[in-house]
Amino acid sequence: MKILYSHRTEEEKNHVAKALSSFEMVFHDGSLQKGEKWDGKGIEIVSVFVDSILGKEEFEKMPDLKFIATRSTGFDHIDLKIAKKKGVIVSNVPTYGEHTVAEFTFALLLNLSRNILAANSRVVKEGSFSPNGLTGFDLFEKTIGVLGTGKIGKNVIKIAKGFGMNVIAFDAFPDTNFAKEQNFKYVTIDELIQTSDIISLHLPENKDTHHIINKEKILKMKKGVVIINTARGSLIDTAALVFGLEEKIISAAGLDVLSEEKYINDETQLLSNPHPNQDDLKTLLMNHYLIDRPKVIITPHTAFNTKEANQRIINTSIENIIKFEKGNPQNIVL
């Protein structure tokens, strides 16, 4: 079978070429929408990351396509209606970073609780070794509220228990057996908001979770609460977050995702628009305010990004392709 594979590094390309040596491989460097033109004739399998769009034009270029192996959990970049109409099977990588993202959650939290970035900056930029003004706080016996107890949220709870923290959680589908095993309790979202010293978000993005952290919720929070978001930017209303920081309700925030992060790398796309969306522009400017604010750490959606997690993504995708070729497809989303 002939495979079109969009790779990101030469190391990945070489690994995949070896693992799938029994297939006819056609490699494309990066997104299918960028770089050299590619020929889709005879392509039966395509494997892409989220930066490649598989829409009407791409499907038309691959009339023999039978299988899509996306190297991601999400599949919004694939037109599933067209795939279904053409009988194309789609598989994903359902999980690869449940430990990785949980660890990063605590990397952000520990940096904020102990002022590590500020301490390092003082030493590097000022040559000062004074600890004055760098007093932090213990995680021990603090209450962490975990919003969402999927695989990542569960690992966050396990780590929190290791620090001796009190854990409460909210989930639309609570896992009572896990709660009993880890000795924590599920509470209402309002109780979690009102009693947590730290709130960590691990929810999917949907109509029910959009701006689940808003001004109304922030007004109910304990003064000095710390917010950590390694899930989806739209879970937090940026304007409300800025309000919470200005009013000193929120003492610190660790954000691996932002509401309009897609614009951060290409602001001219928004700012040069003759009729810009005012809400998007306002959010963008507020994100810049957050970037420059002390006690706010912003990272570029990198919580998942370890060599182990990336390898799991590639290996699972390889397995998906081999299973499909053998007539036993796995991890099917369509």
Residues near 211 by beta carbon (within 8 Å), at least 6 away in sequence: 234, 235, 236, 237, 240
Contact between 232 and 278 (Cβ < 8 Å): no
Residue 334, domain member (yes or no): no
Are 91 and 106 contained in the same domain? no
- Residues 275-279: what's their mean pLDDT? 59
Q: Which domain holds residue 134?
A: 98-298
Q: What is the mean pLDDT of residues 200-206?
A: 92
pLDDT at 269 over 60: no
Flag whether pLDDT at 110 surpasses 60.
yes
Residue 64: per-residue pLDDT: 98
- Percentage of residues of the chain with pLDDT beyond 90: 83
Establish if 240 belongs to a structural domain: yes
Looking at the structure, tell me whether residues 116 and 171 fall in a common domain.
yes
Residue 119 forms part of a structural domain: yes
Examine the pLDDT at 198 and tell me if it is beyond 90.
yes
* 14-18, 146-150, 291-295: least confident range: 291-295
pLDDT at 75: 87
Give the confidence band of 271 by pLDDT, cuts at 50, 70, 90.
Answer: very low
CA 240 from chain center: how many Å? Answer: 21
Cβ-contact 135, 119 below 8 angstroms: no
**275, pLDDT greater than 60:** no
Alpha-carbon span 312 to 102, nearest angstrom: 16
8 an active-site residue? no
Q: Which helix (H) or strand (E) holds 2?
A: strand 2-7
pLDDT of 283 reads 80
Residue 330 maps to a domain: no
Q: Are residues 106 and 154 in the same domain?
A: yes
Domain count within the chain: 2
Same structural domain, 105 and 38: no
Residue 155 reports pLDDT greater than 50: yes
Q: Among the options 15, 99, 293, 301, which is catalytic?
A: 301
CATH number (domain holding residue 19) = 3.40.50.720
Please write the tens of the pLDDT for every residue from 55-67.
999 999 999 999 9
Tell me the residue length of the chain.
334
Strands 198-201 and 185-186: unpaired
Same domain, 286 and 317: no
Q: Are residues 131 and 267 in the same domain?
A: yes
Tokens representing 299 are 């990272």
Cα dihedral sign for 101, 105, 110, 116? Answer: positive
Ranking 4-13, 262-271, 274-283, 323-332 by mean pLDDT, the lowest is: 262-271
pLDDT digits (tens, 9 = 90+) for 209-232: 999 999 999 999 999 999 999 998
Report the alpha-carbon distance of residue 233 to residue 133 in Å, rounded.
31
Cα–Cα distance, 325 to 328 (Å, whole number): 7
In a domain, 333, yes or no: no
Judge if 55 and 192 occupy the same domain.
Answer: no
The answer as to whether 332 is a domain residue is: no
Has residue 128 got a pLDDT over 70?
Answer: yes
Binned at pLDDT 50, 70 and 90, residue 288 comes out as confident
Q: Is residue 110 part of a domain?
A: yes
Nearest partner of 143 among 241, 233, 222, judged by Cα: 222
* CA–CA dist 74, 79 (Å, integer): 12
Whether residues 120 and 267 share a domain: the answer is yes
Q: Are residues 120 and 242 located together in one domain of the fold?
A: yes
Residue 272: both structure tokens together: 């040069």
Same domain assignment for residues 146 and 10: no
The reported pTM is 0.86
Is position 82 within any domain?
yes
Given strand 166-170, what is the order of strands in its sheet?
Answer: 185-186, 166-170, 143-147, 198-201, 225-229, 250-255, 296-298
Residue 265, pLDDT above cutoff 50 = no
* Residue 280 pLDDT exceeds 90: no
Q: 222-226, 235-239, 260-264 — which is least confidently predicted?
A: 260-264
- Annotated active-site residue 232? The verdict is yes
pLDDT in the model for residue 260: 66
| Residue 325 annotated among the catalytic residues of the structure | no
Note the helical H segments in 254-304: 268-271, 278-291
Burial of 137 (0-12, 13-18, 19+ CB in 10 A): middle
| Same domain membership, residue 146 and residue 89 | no
- Catalytic residue among 44, 232, 260, 325, which? 232
CA 35 to chain centre: 26
Calculate the average pLDDT of the chain. Answer: 92
Instruction: Assess whether 59 and 71 both reside in one domain.
Output: yes
In tens, the pLDDT along 78-109 reads 999 999 999 999 999 999 999 999 999 999 99
